[in-house]
Amino acid sequence: MSLTVGFLGAGFMGRAHTHALTRLPLTDDRRVERAILLGRDADRTAAAAEHLGFDRATTDRAEAVTACDVFYVLGPNDVHAEASVAALDAGCDVLCEKPLARSATEADRMVAAAEDSDAVTATGFNYRWVPALRYARELIGSGEIGTVRRFRGRYLQNWLLDPDAPWSWRCSADRAGSGALGDLGAHVIDLARWLVGEIAVVDGETTTHVDHRPAPGGTDQRPVTVDDHVSAELAFEDGATGQIECSRVEPGRANDLTVEIVGSEGSIRFSLPRLNELELVDADESGVRRVDVTGPDTPGGERWWPPGHVLGWDHTFVAENAAFLDAVSEREGYTPDFATGRAVQRVLDAIQASAKAGERRSVHSESR
């Protein structure tokens, strides 16, 4: 199998996906050629293309999307919709990083373009590819913890704790849509929907603790127009309830994602810093069991190593890329696709609207 890919974006996510693509030939026989890198600045894009192993660089979007089979949209949130639609119109399959868009309305355009095409689409919810979380989903689905009653999800980071940490597009509502909510909450809401089910009602609260930040490389202050902390209560359609909390200003927490699912007969707890294990409480409540979730028998562990040979954060991107490119080659559907990304965006929009209004909001009436 041979595919050509193009990327928009050579930052953190550009590197994460490049790393994943370079690892694929070690676990299967596919050939993926990194054909073209699209960026805004010609010199910087050319240097990044060389560094990341792309055949060539361009600043022309039309050239980029016609030069590859599969296009990856890995730039700031304000370019997701336009670049994805251009790539779909050019006949590419498209992976777009999360949050899919700045709003559900913007996501509607992307889903419509996907529906008008034969393309395979993907939203970059890489945490679905953590074997421990895939195992958790299997346990929940088989009734292992009884009826799900409660979901708790926290995603805490600290990279904006310092008030002098420079302003970036991630601090701008125009460019990012929201702050911790879209950046981190998108992952948590995706996991909540995937593990528990559809969310019907939300009650959100957002806070901006640092409302100005220095311009990058300068001293003038720029306004922060997004949240740096969000919490929300959730009511699921099937009767379960939940709670999420996300922050980019949490002391001591560089990248801490924790998910708990509580059922009538047990509970499950996952924490990203302990990616290779799952905490389980069974019906007999005999204590908390730490289950080693490594090895090829674990769901999602098939392509990896013998038991005990632990995985890391980067493996989620390898598994995600393998599954997406399998779907592309086989011309099959892939999940999470653009429709999934839009469903998550509807919940994010409802949380934002609820925080603004100071009252509960229904997800679907909010987003239609």
Q: Is 12 in the site for ligand SOE (CB under 6 A)?
A: yes
**Other CB atoms within 10 Å distance of the CB of residue 291:** 16
Q: Is 305 in the site for ligand SOE (CB under 6 A)?
A: no
Q: Which is nearer to ligand SOE, 183 or 245 (CB)?
A: 183
Residues 52 and 14 sit within 8 Å (Cβ to Cβ): yes
- Least distance (Å) from ligand SOE to the CB of residue 226? 12
Helix, strand, coil percentages in the chain from 3-state DSSP, rounded to 5 = 40, 25, 35
- Least distance (Å) from ligand SOE to the CB of residue 183? 5
Contacts of 183 (CB under 8 A, 6+ apart): 99, 170, 176, 246, 248
Residues 102 and 177 sit within 8 Å (Cβ to Cβ): yes
Does residue 53 sit in helix, strand or coil? coil
Does residue 129 sit in helix, strand or coil? helix
How many chain residues are in contact with ligand SOE, going by CB under 6 A? 4
How close are the terminal C-alpha atoms of the chain, in Å? Answer: 41
- Least distance (Å) from ligand SOE to the CB of residue 248? 6
Q: Is 178 in the site for ligand SOE (CB under 6 A)?
A: no
Q: Which is nearer to ligand SOE, 76 or 307 (CB)?
A: 76
Instruction: Looking at residues 247 to 266 of the shown chain, list those that interact with ligand SOE (rule: CB under 6 A).
Output: 255
Q: Which is nearer to ligand SOE, 255 or 335 (CB)?
A: 255
- Least distance (Å) from ligand SOE to the CB of residue 255? 6
- Least distance (Å) from ligand SOE to the CB of residue 272? 9
Contact pattern from residue 137 through residue 176 relative to ligand SOE, giving x for each residue in contact according to CB under 6 A and a dash for the rest: --------------------x-------------------
- Least distance (Å) from ligand SOE to the CB of residue 368? 27
- Least distance (Å) from ligand SOE to the CB of residue 125? 9
* Closest residue to ligand SOE using C-beta atoms: 183
Does residue 77 sit in helix, strand or coil? helix
Residues 123 and 341 sit within 8 Å (Cβ to Cβ): yes
Strands (E), 208-247: 212-214, 221-223, 229-236, 241-247
Contacting residue, 69, 93, 106, 183, with ligand SOE by CB under 6 A: 183
Nearest of 32, 37, 42 to residue 9 by alpha carbon: 37
Q: Which residues pair with 205 in a beta bridge?
A: 231
* Binding residues for ligand SOE (CB under 6 A): 12, 157, 183, 255
